[in-house]
Structure formats: structure tokens, C-alpha cells
Structure 1
């Protein structure tokens, strides 16, 4: 079930996945030596080998680097391919060996300026690079250099909700949830961008996710226009937030699909579905009964699943109001707190007449299937004439605050 106002308080700690992972519903529920300080190679080097401390001007350079914090030496970011370059020479050969003696596979570019590993480096691991470098003056020498990669505990990452090449609804914000507390929000926000064609006015806004994690969402001032091409960029490689370091560089392009919008009137007990501004159908529905009222305001489709188990215990409903429905059909998830639009044949005869649910939007099997087939991730569903507006962080509730308020949530505004 969902959210009576009292049940809502009990649900404040429920988790929300920005990737729109399926969860049980409001109406129900289903039955991821300190690092950061590279050490200098051994002082004893074989003849013809040059061993230099990392602070010296190196004939070989490494990337991706984590940058510096408080004067500390640079560390290599793990999980990404390692690149070895010869800024003033040509690489003849490169060998990268871990502390366990295993070599990192890789390939040298035809011009000898760079060697790139085939796989990412490990976390909190120490490696030694041995590179044969031909200098511009015709000299040749072997250079050794050791480095340590960052540990997982030293890294922050963001989970985002859009996929390359996907098509989304007109109301979908771009959302990033971070796995560690963010202290310098402005520094992070400067490294995030959203561009669109046609161009839009938009803004990032920070909030706490439902599980307390730091989260930042980007929404345009108005819904996206159908057909808009959007690119989300995140370049956090080497960005420092206190003692933590960012490691991600992503560029995700997606497209906005048809404008499928739905309006639920809890007084009339109807849901009107439109496509690109043209009404398609008005369906008879049954929404939340007294003390279990359906959220007011705009919710955004998070996911769809043809069948799901809905158990009221997962949302704190027990006693006479308890239920356990094993095969609820045509389920469209609207909030992580458990609001769904779905088939509710047990309320047959009440659609369009009586609000009898625990907060979900129920309808006949046929109408639920029709609705399920027409909506998708990112489509808005707006409820009017109810109570208690859905929170900004309960799913994608960005549309429930005015534009000026939304912009104030930016760390750069």
C-alpha cells in the first residue's frame, strides 16, 4: 500500500533507486601503508636503468591521476585503463606488474607515444612500471616507476538515471545519487552539465535522497519538448571533495519521446490520458480512501512490470487494513514509497464511483493494460484535488515546486 499520512512517517527511510529499480508498492511490495601516496622505486637500479622519485620530472607519465590534496603525492585512479606516455620521447616497450607479480596487459600506440592497458587497474593496489624510452636525442634508457591506486574508501561515485541511446518521457529529470556525503556541492556541480537541442532553460537542485544520500537533479523550466536530444556530461575524474576523489567521466545521450501526460482527479475519480496535447481516453479509477489518500501533485513513471506481489506489511500496514496480493497486474510505479497505477479487479464496481484503495490508482484489468501499454519511464502523472503533495525526493517530484524555488537548490545559483 501506500501512504496514509501516518504511514508516510513510518516510511521515511524507504530506499529509492534512481535507476528505477522495481520495488514493492505503496500499494504493495515484492515477497553495489595508506593509498594515495606513491612510493619511490628502490634506490638500487640495474645498469642502464633510471629510477626517479615521483616528484622529479619524469620521462614517463601516468594517467588517470587523482590530483593532489594538501600537498600529497598524486595517485592513480583505479577501475579505468592505465595510460603510460613518453612526453619527450618514444616508448619502445612497457611492462606494468602488480605486487602479486601479474602483468597488466596493454598495447603501445604505433607512434610510440602512449601505452594503454587492456583493463582497469585494481583498487588499493601497487604497481611497478618498467618502460624502455628512446629519447629525441637518440639515447635509450629504461625507466622504472611505482605507484599505488586509490582504495574504494577514498573514492566517491554517482549513480545516474539515464542510459545511452534511450528514449524517455517529457518529465524526466536527470538525477545523480552519490554513494558518499558531498561537502563541496559547488565543486561537483561545476563538473556536471546537461545540454539540449533545442536548447532549454534548466537548473540543478540538491536534495537528500529518501535513504539520506546526497542527490542532485536537473530539470528544465518546463517539460522537455518531444524529440529533444539531450546530453548529460559528468567529469569527476580527479575532483576532490575533502579526502575523497571522483573517478567518473561519462557522456550520455538520450532522446525525449512523445508527450504522454495523465491527470487523475480524485473527486471525479477519473484519469485522462493525452498524447502530444491530444486527449486519448478518460478512464474510471479508484484512488486512496480516507487516511490513505493518493499523493497530490506530479509523479513520474519510474518503472513498469506486468505482475507484482503487493504486501501491505512492507509499507507498515497491519491489522484490519492488511493485505497480501500475490499477482497484481499491469503495474506502473510512480513513487518509491509505493504508489502504483495498476489493475484492481477486487474493486470492480467502484471505479468512477468510490475511492477505495490504500493510495494507489486502481482500474479495471482492460483499462490498466491500456494505460500500461502507453506510458513509459519519465512520463508524468498528475493528481489533483487530493491532499499532501508528493515530496521532491519521493521519486522525481521536481515538478511540485515552482521554478524559483527549484533554482535555489543549486549550489551555484
Structure 2
């Protein structure tokens, strides 16, 4: 019997961790006495040749209203590159003698910028410097809950999924900073949708299921990205996970059977009972969201009342397929119905021994496909992504 459970396991991505060279720099507009190179704002007049970068590393969070200035004391600048993985590179202007570079692109909040400078002293010797600084956190931040988690092994049907805690108005800006790579390589695509709570969500999947043994990396370069409406990203994250065996299950509503295969080889065909008329089990492909050995199932959680109401205190071997309440589970009260008649309220029930066996075979991300039923499960009802044809899926991207 169905019951809504908490959303699948997610992790809040942390602030970016960036390794930088220790450098001595000062805040633009402040006294440069702390830059370690000697001299004030007119640094050409004193001290040995040096490159001075403002604002400073180690000087606290930098307000986004600051400009970045790079000054070659006793020399000239050859190249200046200032950028962050999220918001990208800054543009700038040069002084006539190319001794000073000043940024013209506004800084993004909550981003770590790296400054790489090459120049030469008046004597001809090389001047090089690498510095970094971090801007103040945004007052209005958007954070993405991602799944699957780092270091996990999941089934061939698991998409990469990110759900945001605030509306994303500039979806293209955010999508440009999300990257998925796979080994062995496979083409895939992002597609936007609303989750069941109305939040913006973006999923990534290939045209067909992942191949077993594929290693996947998600890179989120969202720190400082303008998501629109005054909302900025804060995350700099790398998430690695692996695809396990291809455990696929097909439930035939007409035959009232569930066939389970691993890597293309059929393991068993189980007798089941699915949703009766008016409570039909979703048609199409769902993906295992969670597993619990025992759960209470109360019909009120899925808005079933009256004569059809139920409250089952200890339902065994529960495999969740949708947040709307679809499970595969033991249903000993329907013992005479397995393989004979569909008599549930939408779940897939089977004997206790078969349910335990199924529970032990499947893992998070394994696809379960229902055929010959009605009303195909929606893409946002769990991971119903595979019910969207490939051309339509690609159209869900915010990029041209």
C-alpha cells in the first residue's frame, strides 16, 4: 500500500574549497602599506620592482563594489588574467604605459577569484605573480540539493539531479556552470522541470541507461553565478559516483508478474498484484528511490479515505519507486491475488519471501518498468525521466 516518505537522500553542497598561492596584496582604495612590497599608492617611487595586486589575499571578504587593480612597480605588465570558475573572467582597461590594469566587470558575490599576472621590470627581468581573494557572500543565495551522493554506487537508471531552494530565473547561466563527464564517455543532456513542490530542478541523463561500470563526475561551478532576480550561487563542488550492475525489473499488469534481470540475464519471474481499477499502478519507468525493511503505511498520506482507508503498522521489505507513494512490498493480506488479480491501491505487492528476495536484489537507481497499465508516471514524480523521449528531453535544456 502506498505511503509518502521523505524525499530521497541528498547532501547540501559546501562552500568552495580553493587552493591558492600565499601572496601579499591589499584592498583597493586602502593604504598599500600592508602589501609587503613597500611604498604607497604611488609605488613606482619606492621599493624594488614588483607586481602589486589589489584587493588583498587574507584581508577578509571583499565587497563586490571593489575594483581589481594590478600595478607593476618599476616595470610594465604583459598579461593579466582575473577569473573565477563560476562567474568567469573579468574584463579590464590598461594605463597608457601598461603599468596598471583596472577591472571593468563587476565582482560576483560569494566567489573566489584567482589573479595571474606576467610582466617585466625596467631592467628586463621577469615579474610574475599569482594571487587570490574571495568576495562577500551573497545576501540572497540559491543552493542546489544534488543526487546521487559522492562516492556512491547506483543503478543504471539514476540521473544526475539538482533541485534548487530558490527560483532560478536565468536557467542558462546556471546550466552553463554544470558539467557531467563519464568514463567510458557517453553523450547526455540536461533538462529543466519543476519538482513536485514547485521548485526548479534540473536532471542529466544519457539517451539510454548508463552502462554498468561507468564512472561519472558532476562539477558544480556555481559560486558567484547570477541566477537572476538578485539571487547568486554559492557552490563549488565535484561529485564522483559509479554505476553498478544493470538490475532491471519489468512488471506486466496483464500477466501480474514481475521479471527481474541482472546484466541482461533473467533471475526470476515473481507473481504480483498491482493497482486495481481506479488505483492503477503508474505505467512507465520508475527508479528505486529508497529501501526500508519495515514501514507503516497509512492511506491518509496519499489521500485515500472512507471505505478504502487503511493503516498498516508493519509492512515488510519496502522499495520506494515514487514520492507519490508507489512501493514494491510484501502484502501477505493479498496472498490469494498474486498472479491472479490486481487488488492494491497502486503499489506492487507480492509474498513476503518474494518481497524480501526483490529487496535484496535492487539498489538505488535501479529502473522498474510497468507495462500495460494507464497514466504514465511524470518525469518529476521521483525519477520518471526515462518516460520522456530523447528529442523532447533535449528541448528541456535552457541552452541553444
Give distance in 2, aligned partners of 1:382 and 1:251: 31
Name the residue aligned to 2:394. 407
Task: Give 3-state SS (helix, strand or coil) of 1:223's partner.
Answer: coil
Instruction: Tell me, yes or no, if structure 1 residue 228 matches structure 2 residue 218.
Output: no
Query: How do 1:193-204 and structure 2 match up within 5 A?
Result: 193-204=179-190
Give distance in 2, aligned partners of 1:84 and 1:281: 57
Instruction: Tell me, yes or no, if structure 1 residue 328 matches structure 2 residue 315.
Output: yes
Could you list the runs of 4 or more consecutive aligned residues of structure 1 that deviate by over 2 angstroms after TM superposition? 14-21, 39-43, 48-59, 62-68, 71-76, 82-88, 112-116, 147-151
Contact 1:288/1:357 (8 A) holds in 2: yes
Give distance in 2, aligned partners of 1:64 and 1:308: 47
Contact 1:16/1:209 (8 A) holds in 2: no
Give distance in 1, aligned partners of 2:146 and 2:315: 29
Name the residue aligned to 2:238. 251
Query: How do 1:77-116 and structure 2 match up within 5 A?
Result: 77=110
How far did 1:309 drift? 0.8
How far did 1:150 drift? 2.6
Give distance in 2, aligned partners of 1:15 and 1:240: 34
Number of matched pairs: 329
Contact 2:107/2:135 (8 A) holds in 1: no
Task: Give 3-state SS (helix, strand or coil) of 2:67's partner.
Answer: coil
Name the residue aligned to 1:160. 146
Name the residue aligned to 1:133. none
Name the residue aligned to 1:337. 324
Contact 1:266/1:287 (8 A) holds in 2: yes
Task: Give 3-state SS (helix, strand or coil) of 2:394's partner.
Answer: helix
Task: Give 3-state SS (helix, strand or coil) of 2:397's partner.
Answer: coil
Task: Give 3-state SS (helix, strand or coil) of 2:325's partner.
Answer: coil
Q: TM-score, normalised by structure 1?
A: 0.70
Give distance in 1, aligned partners of 2:399 and 2:304: 42
Instruction: Tell me, yes or no, if structure 1 residue 375 matches structure 2 residue 375.
Output: no
Give distance in 1, aligned partners of 2:354 and 2:274: 14
Which structure has more relative contact order (CA 8 Å, sep 6+)? It is 1
Name the residue aligned to 1:17. 7
Give distance in 2, aligned partners of 1:50 and 1:285: 81
Give distance in 2, aligned partners of 1:331 and 1:313: 18
How far did 1:326 drift? 1.0
CA distance 1:160–1:362, change in 2 (3 Å): same
Name the residue aligned to 1:55. 67
Name the residue aligned to 1:357. 344
Contact 2:84/2:114 (8 A) holds in 1: no
Give distance in 1, aligned partners of 2:399 and 2:156: 25
Contact 1:264/1:384 (8 A) holds in 2: yes
Task: Give 3-state SS (helix, strand or coil) of 2:69's partner.
Answer: coil
Give distance in 2, aligned partners of 1:115 and 1:402: 45
How far did 1:412 drift? 1.8
How far did 1:236 drift? 1.0
Name the residue aligned to 1:174. 160
Task: Give 3-state SS (helix, strand or coil) of 1:346's partner.
Answer: helix
Name the residue aligned to 1:150. 137
Query: How do 1:245-394 and structure 2 match up within 5 A?
Result: 245-394=232-381
How far did 1:49 drift? 9.5
Contact 1:18/1:176 (8 A) holds in 2: no
Task: Give 3-state SS (helix, strand or coil) of 1:245's partner.
Answer: strand
| Structure 2 gap segments, 5+ residues each | 12-26, 42-53, 56-65, 72-81, 91-103, 119-128
RMSD: 3.4
Contact 2:280/2:373 (8 A) holds in 1: yes
Contact 2:318/2:329 (8 A) holds in 1: yes
Deviates more, 1:393-402 or 1:235-244: 235-244
CA distance 1:344–1:392, change in 2 (3 Å): same
Name the residue aligned to 2:203. 217
Deviations 1:169-226 (A, max 9, x none): 0011111111111111111111111111221121111111100001111111111111
CA distance 1:202–1:115, change in 2 (3 Å): closer
Deviations 1:127-177 (A, max 9, x none): xxxxxxxxxxxxxxxxxxxx97235x5111111102222111001111111
Instruction: Tell me, yes or no, if structure 1 residue 188 matches structure 2 residue 174.
Output: yes
Task: Give 3-state SS (helix, strand or coil) of 1:281's partner.
Answer: strand
Query: How do 1:19-58 and structure 2 match up within 5 A?
Result: 19=9, 54-55=66-67, 57=69
How far did 1:83 drift? 8.7
Give distance in 2, aligned partners of 1:65 and 1:412: 19
